[in-house]
Amino acid sequence: MKTNLTLPVCYILLIAFFSFLSGHSAKAQLAKCKGKYFGNILQYSVPSNYNSFWNQATSENGSKWGSVEGTKGVYNWTSSDLAYNWAKNNGGLFKYHTLVWGAQTPGWVASASTATLTASVQAYIKACADHYNPLGGIKMIDVLNEPVNTPMPSNLKAALTAGYKAEPANAGDLNNQYGWVIWCFQLARKYFPSSTLLINEYNVEMNWNNCRAPYIAMVNAVKNAPNLTDGRKNLIDGVGLQAHGVDNLTAANFKACIDEIWNSTGVSIHITEFDQTANPNETKQRDVYSRLIPVAWEHPHVAGITLWGYIQGSTWINGNGQAGAGGTDSGIIYANGNDRPAMTWLKSYFSGQPTLACCPAPAPFASCPGTNRSFVVRARGTAAGAQLQLRINGNVISTFNLTTAFANYTASSTATGTVRLEVTTDNGTWDVEVDYLQINGTILQAENQAVNTALYSNGRCGGGGSSQIMHCNGYIEFANTAARTFSVQEKFVDSPSERNLLNIYPNPVSNGNVTVEFYNEKEQYISIDLVTTNGRIVKKVASKKFEAGAHQINIDFAHPGTELYLVRIKKENEIITKQLLVQH
């Protein structure tokens, strides 16, 4: 009897074991070890196949203010904790969605006073930190949701504005039109100093109602605002694109949108709520996935992707409510666990993506530990107080307090991605000049880079062009550029002690007629040019052999208005440059 009972039990165990292998181990998470996150939502329970597909989780509704604080001052994190605990227990990444949103606010918000709401918003964000920080903290947060396209209740917007104006850190910019946006991020950074902080919006990809421009303006306003702790400008780490309603979005336009946001803000992009209906059929759904997912996943400035539901019958877009292939919902697997064509494509696509040997935890731009890269920045400020930041993929690696003479500033990091040198401290009188960035011994000349958003050109900051001069807040980007070793020494003349090298007067000039004095230490060929800050030659002043000794040359030129120029003298072994300000 004992033998007869044992044999069936063995068969049952074997069947269960092979079922486990076929149902789980053979279905590794789609983005496992791929270097970015590819996640989905959770609501009231964790589906049995969730671990087979996703390495990041967002609570669909459980983390929203309306769900957490239905009764004023009483916080319920149960549904939010479901997604948090799944991520914590399964090596996944949790994103909190969302701290502030004009929709899905608690019912009591509608009749609350401005003062009550100002205090309540801060209390809610603090309560969130008090709940999660002891558990290990939150890695990623949607701070503000749909600030452009979802109208903010007037009393809530007034409360956020009042909170902004009450902060001493904002005293110099009290009338900022995006103060209500900034304060949300100031509170989030105060209570979550190490979290990745995101803004989130829909319809940006299609640019419906021309919403992209104000969205970018908001991002930059937050980026340029100080935090409440030490005044650093580190309030935002990611720009969220929801990617709903992208049925007819082309791959080229999707990439152009991502490129524009990155080029305009320098802040990494997150695809936060991607979905697509099977409307009119499953082929349409598969085609949208296969057209757009590769654009986002392979873009160097996209940190990861979150799908907004995946099981037919359990997504927020139910379509015609029909089960099976005829359903027009947004699910990508059937309720029985079988794949729809879009999921079949996803599995095939991710299986072909490179896998990192070290298999890091999912995170924005995860990478394997490696040998530090060494960075040497040769730069100077025109006045004491100027700063320059070394950033990789938008993250600050080091901040340099510049002297007024050229000096070398060093740093090291294992981080990979786009490298930038950024100015965030311009006060209208401080300029920064970057000679070069050296990476592991390879020198990249600043004036050879394609992007310098800190350049004053074409009558405005960020007017385009290449230069080593940084006149405004902005950055020089050193990504994907060929290295060029520059053999001659270059001097930027500014202090009185250097006037024997190059002197210009009057400076500023109002009539376009200036005198240039310089000293030539030996007989040699010299060229003298008047150039714009992006390197365009306005006037070739001289190109000939000069005798040793002091020389004086006059430059007479027409000028349309106020503009910053450079007088550049090229000798055999050095270049001497000095700024010239022309005032109309």
**Tens-digit pLDDT profile for residues 488-527:** 445 555 544 455 578 888 888 888 788 998 888 888 878 8
Rounded CA-CA distance 547/439 in Å is 39
Buried b (16+ CB within 10 A) or exposed e, 245-279: bbeebeeebbbebbeebbebbbbbbbbbbbbbbbb
**pLDDT for position 262:** 93
Mean pLDDT of 308-319: 96
Q: Summarize pLDDT for 238-266 with one digit per residue, the tens.
A: 999 999 999 999 999 999 999 999 999 98
**pLDDT for position 53:** 98
Rounded CA-CA distance 365/386 in Å is 30
Mean pLDDT of 12-18: 36
Residue 521 among the catalytic residues: no
Cβ neighbours, 10 Å, residue 345: 18
**pLDDT for position 7:** 34
Mean pLDDT of 173-200: 97
Q: Average pLDDT of the chain?
A: 87
Residue 201 among the catalytic residues: no
Mean pLDDT of 103-123: 97
Rounded CA-CA distance 97/383 in Å is 43
Q: Among 98-107, 327-336, 373-382, name the one with the lowest average pLDDT.
A: 373-382
Say if residue 17's pLDDT is above 70: no
Q: Summarize pLDDT for 124-165 with one digit per residue, the tens.
A: 999 999 999 999 999 999 999 999 999 999 999 999 999 999
Report pTM.
0.68
Query: Which ranges constitute the DSSP H helices of 196-320?
Result: 212-223, 251-265, 282-297
**Considering only CA atoms, which of 571, 581, 573, 572 is closest in space to residue 518?**
571
Q: Among 168-182, 213-227, 398-412, 451-465, name the one with the lowest average pLDDT.
A: 451-465
HEC assignment per residue over 518-544 = EEECCCEEEEEEEEECCCCEEEEEEEE
Structure tokens at 247: 């049925």
**pLDDT for position 10:** 39
**pLDDT for position 519:** 83
Rounded CA-CA distance 475/245 in Å is 34
At 25, the pLDDT band (50, 70, 90 cuts) reads very low
Output 562 or 107, whichever has higher pLDDT.
107
SS3 56: strand
- Which residue matches tokens 């530090």? 372
CB 555 within 8 A of CB 530: yes
At 479, the pLDDT band (50, 70, 90 cuts) reads low
Report helix, strand and coil shares of the chain as percent, to nearest 5. 30, 30, 40
The alpha carbon of 100 is separated from its chain's Cα centroid by a whole number of angstroms, namely 20
At 18, the pLDDT band (50, 70, 90 cuts) reads very low
Structure tokens at 69: 């604080």
Mean pLDDT of 536-556: 84
Please state, in angstroms and as integers, the Cα–Cα distance from residue 27 to each residue in 52, 70, 347, following that order. Answer: 5, 39, 9
SS3 65: helix
Amino acid found at 47: P
- Which residue matches tokens 């063995």? 10
Say if residue 9's pLDDT is above 70: no
**pLDDT for position 576:** 83
**pLDDT for position 303:** 95
SS3 231: coil
**Considering only CA atoms, which of 314, 250, 317 is closest in space to residue 288?**
250
At 480, the pLDDT band (50, 70, 90 cuts) reads very low
To the nearest 10 degrees (0 to 180), the angle between helices 212-223 and 179-191 is: 50
For residues 82, 85, 89, 94, the Cα torsion angle rounded to the nearest 10 degrees is 100
Mean pLDDT of 94-105: 97
**pLDDT for position 108:** 97
At 535, the pLDDT band (50, 70, 90 cuts) reads low
To the nearest 10 degrees (0 to 180), the angle between helices 154-166 and 114-132 is: 70
Q: Summarize pLDDT for 169-181 with one digit per residue, the tens.
A: 999 999 999 999 9
Exactly one of 69, 201, 205, 273 is catalytic; which is it? Answer: 273
**pLDDT for position 560:** 65
**pLDDT for position 87:** 97
At 481, the pLDDT band (50, 70, 90 cuts) reads very low
Exactly one of 146, 422, 433, 563 is catalytic; which is it? Answer: 146
Output 273 or 494, whichever has higher pLDDT.
273
**pLDDT for position 533:** 62
Q: Summarize pLDDT for 420-465 with one digit per residue, the tens.
A: 999 987 776 678 999 888 886 667 888 877 788 888 877 788 777 7
Buried b (16+ CB within 10 A) or exposed e, 358-375: eeeebbbbbeeeeeebeb
At 74, the pLDDT band (50, 70, 90 cuts) reads very high
**pLDDT for position 20:** 36
**pLDDT for position 290:** 97
Q: Which domains does the chain have, with CATH numbers?
A: 30-351 (3.20.20.80), 373-477 (2.60.60.40), 489-582 (2.60.40.1930)
Output 397 or 445, whichever has higher pLDDT.
397
Rounded CA-CA distance 210/206 in Å is 9
Please state, in angstroms and as integers, the Cα–Cα distance from residue 557 to each residue in 312, 509, 511, 554, following that order. Answer: 71, 11, 8, 10
Q: Summarize pLDDT for 334-348 with one digit per residue, the tens.
A: 999 999 999 999 999
The alpha carbon of 163 is separated from its chain's Cα centroid by a whole number of angstroms, namely 25
What's the full length of the chain, in residues?
A: 584
**pLDDT for position 441:** 61
Which of 203-207, 407-411, 438-442, 576-580 holds the top average pLDDT?
Answer: 203-207
At 47, the pLDDT band (50, 70, 90 cuts) reads very high
At 575, the pLDDT band (50, 70, 90 cuts) reads confident
Buried b (16+ CB within 10 A) or exposed e, 294-314: ebbbebebbbbbbbbbbbbeb
The alpha carbon of 371 is separated from its chain's Cα centroid by a whole number of angstroms, namely 25
